Amino acid sequence: MASSASSSTAVEVRKHDVFLSFCGEDTRTTFTSTLHGVLNETSINVFIDDELNKGEEISSSLMSAIEESMISVITFSKGYASSRWCLEELVKIMECKKTQKQSVIPVFYLMDPSEVRNQTGIFGDGFAKLVESFDEEKLNYNLAKKVIEDILKILNFMSPSKRTIAKSVFDKISNQFEGSYFARNIREESTGRYGLTWMQQELLSSILKHPIGFTKGRLGRKQVLIILDDVTTSEQVESLIEISTLGPGSQIIIIATDKQVLRNCGADDISIYKMKGLPMNEALQLFSW
């Protein structure tokens, strides 16, 4: 069986999806811990300063991490402005926002946005009493969930063309195969309530029409095309299809932003293709269209 893999994106692929900027004393064990945990569960690559190796120059490491991130989440809390490191991070993030078009998501944790904007007092007594009436754990999770929704929207917006190109390929050549299936948004679907179970059933139904009994033998007699979009782990592929059971001449196209994921799926360097961005004049023309 021949297989191929594709790694593609319309924008520069950076080391991290998200950089977290926060005041450790205020939010490390509360909101930031919750946000970090849910980001990991959603398979979003996140940088947090706990990852710094001992002995590293903290300032240069943090500055590099900011530059290598697609999105920065700034959690403004009562102690943020009193931290020299937080303010240096903020300056660097604003620089990257201007020069690299980095996306920035501000989070006001137990703070009124106007206090940050106007640099006034932390918050009034009335606001403090209101915050105390909330269950802190519920507040942390709900706020983290809202931030992650924004992060996913930005990540999807920043890399739409890999899906578009793959769909164009699928539409053009799928009629050359005895069966075909395009698995969309695997990263997102894998975190749902039922995981990828329903997608596996849909894949088999699309290829076999009636996937009841002797599935491996029937797959082995078919030449099929399967495109797997936004794969983040080899386990996702394994849960959808056993590649070795597909018939001769079948093609598997895997779309991922991490080359190691493709290697883990069995692709060698020859079969991995990295999409390059358009030249400036062609990009502007496409944007105009």
Q: Counting every residue, how long is the chain?
A: 289
Euclidean distance between CA atoms 155 and 151, whole angstroms: 6
What residues does 47 pair with on adjacent strands?
A: 19
pTM beyond cutoff 0.75: no
98, with CB counted inside 10 A (0-12, 13-18, 19+), is: exposed
Mean pLDDT over each residue of the chain, to the nearest integer: 78
Residue 17: the pLDDT is 87
Residue 107: which residues within 8 A CB-CB, separation 6 or more? 31, 73, 74, 75, 76, 143, 147
What pLDDT, on the 0 to 100 scale, is given for residue 16?
Answer: 86
Q: How confident is the model at residue 201 (pLDDT cuts 50, 70, 90)?
A: confident
Structural domains in the chain?
A: 16-158 (3.40.50.10140), 160-288 (no CATH)
Q: How confident is the model at residue 105 (pLDDT cuts 50, 70, 90)?
A: very high
- Beta-carbon neighbour count of residue 1 at 10 Å? 15
Mean pLDDT value of segment 241-266: 90
- State pLDDT tens for residues 260-280: 999 999 888 898 988 777 777
- Catalytic residues, by residue number, are 89
Report pLDDT for 96: 92
239-267: b (≥16 Cβ within 10 Å) or e: bbbeeeebbeebbbbbbbbeeebbeebeb
Question: Rounded distance, CA 3 to CA 117, Å?
Answer: 54
β-sheet bridge partners, residue 98: none
Nearest to 276 by CA among 4, 6, 11, 5: 11
Give per-residue burial for 131-153: e unless 16+ CB within 10 Å, then b: eeeeeeeebbbebbeebbeebee
What would the pLDDT profile of 145-187 be if each residue is shown by its tens digit? Answer: 788 878 877 766 665 557 667 888 888 899 999 889 999 889 8
Cα separation, 242 vs 203, whole angstroms: 12
